[in-house]
Amino acid sequence: MTTRRTFLGTVTGGAAGAVLAGCAHRSGEASGPRTPARAAGKPPLGLQLYSLRNQLKTDVPGTLQLVKSWGIEEVESFGPYGASIAGALKDAGLRCSAIHVGYDQLTSDMAGVLKNADVLGVKTIINPYLPHKQEPSATREEILKAAGDFAKWSQECRAAGKRFGYHIHGQEFAKDGERTLFDLLVKESGPDVGFEADVFWISAGGADPVKLMGQYPGRFWFTHLKDMAKGSQSAAERANVVIGTGTIDIKGIVAAGAAAGVEIHYLEDESPDVLTQVPQSVTYYKAL
């Protein structure tokens, strides 16, 4: 079974780079990087398009129209969905607000990443996965290597009027003395690097998303909102349930996100029942 984590672990630089052409250009956006703003209330709900990876394989226009019909206007793209879906995004009235770019692509072709981001009008570039050799946690050396790369990429992005962030997946929470490797990553990557909190995988990694956002206000630009089935013994795809019905404190996370400056909550659903669950999750979020 292919999960988000296993998919990200196999994404090549070329596939990750293809996503950069997958978002419609938004004219009139400020040329400088947006500083994460303290949210006055509940931010918009977007959708990570990986949720609909199977539907996109057969019907891109219809799938994106479906996203719009759910009352979603912001999407986050991934992997192979590049230039070929730009027109369909525009036709569906969707905005691609952030882009996931693989580690290899950022390492080998930052100039190409920035050039494509210029064409797209997207200001935020997110690395979706930190390479590490063993599960469940990265090593201290791997975290330090990533922190150095993140600091470098952040400087390059800022020089081009953009910003760089990292999507937390849960392998960052092993102990490092009295703190965690995530604390080390935050410190060593520098204050300009932002984070996207996948609340499902953070929880599976043994951390508390609410406490984490409270500890680092202003550093969390986005989340991936997901919920885990009650009684689940693993973080497999089938553990994904409608947000608000599982074990993760979605209400508390949304409240903490407002205080911490979260700009968009991206819904991500990896379950086999995504077409049923996503509209229910949208309804729950709107009622909060």
pLDDT digits (tens, 9 = 90+) for 89-100: 889 999 988 888
Q: Does residue 13 have a pLDDT over 70?
A: no
Structure tokens at 238: 């089938």
Q: Does residue 191 have a pLDDT over 70?
A: yes
279 — pLDDT class (breaks 50, 70, 90): very high
261 touches 42 (CB < 8 A): no
For the chain, what's the residue count? 288
Tell me the pTM: 0.86
Q: Cβ atoms within 10 A of the Cβ of 140, count?
A: 13
pLDDT tens digit sequence for 38-56: 445 799 999 999 999 999 9
Helix axes 140-159, 110-120, angle to 10 degrees: 50
Among 221, 242, 282, 271, which Cα is nearest to 47's? 282
Residue 14 is predicted with a pLDDT of 40
Kindly give, in sequence order, each residue whose CB lies less than 8 Å from that of residue 193, ignoring residues fewer than 6 positions away.
150, 151, 154, 164, 165, 166, 186, 219
When computed from its CA atoms, the radius of gyration of the chain, rounded to whole angstroms, is 17
- Look at the block and give the residue holding tokens 């996203």: 67
Give the whole-number percent of the chain exceeding pLDDT 90: 68
Distance CA 25, CA 21 (A): 9
Q: Where are the alpha helices (DSSP H) in 98-208?
A: 103-108, 110-120, 140-159, 181-189, 199-204
234 — pLDDT class (breaks 50, 70, 90): low
171 touches 130 (CB < 8 A): yes
Residue 31 is predicted with a pLDDT of 37
The DSSP line for 184-242 is: HHHHHH-TT-EEEEEHHHHHHTT--HHHHHHHSTTSEEEEEE-EE-TT-SS--GGGEE-
256 touches 208 (CB < 8 A): no
72 — pLDDT class (breaks 50, 70, 90): very high
Range of the domain at 40: 4-287
* Mean pLDDT value across the chain: 85
pLDDT tens digit sequence for 117-149: 776 667 899 999 999 998 789 999 999 999 999
Count of the separate structural domains present in the chain: 1
First to last CA, the chain: 33
User: CATH number for the domain including 89?
Assistant: 3.20.20.150
Distance CA 252, CA 186 (A): 23
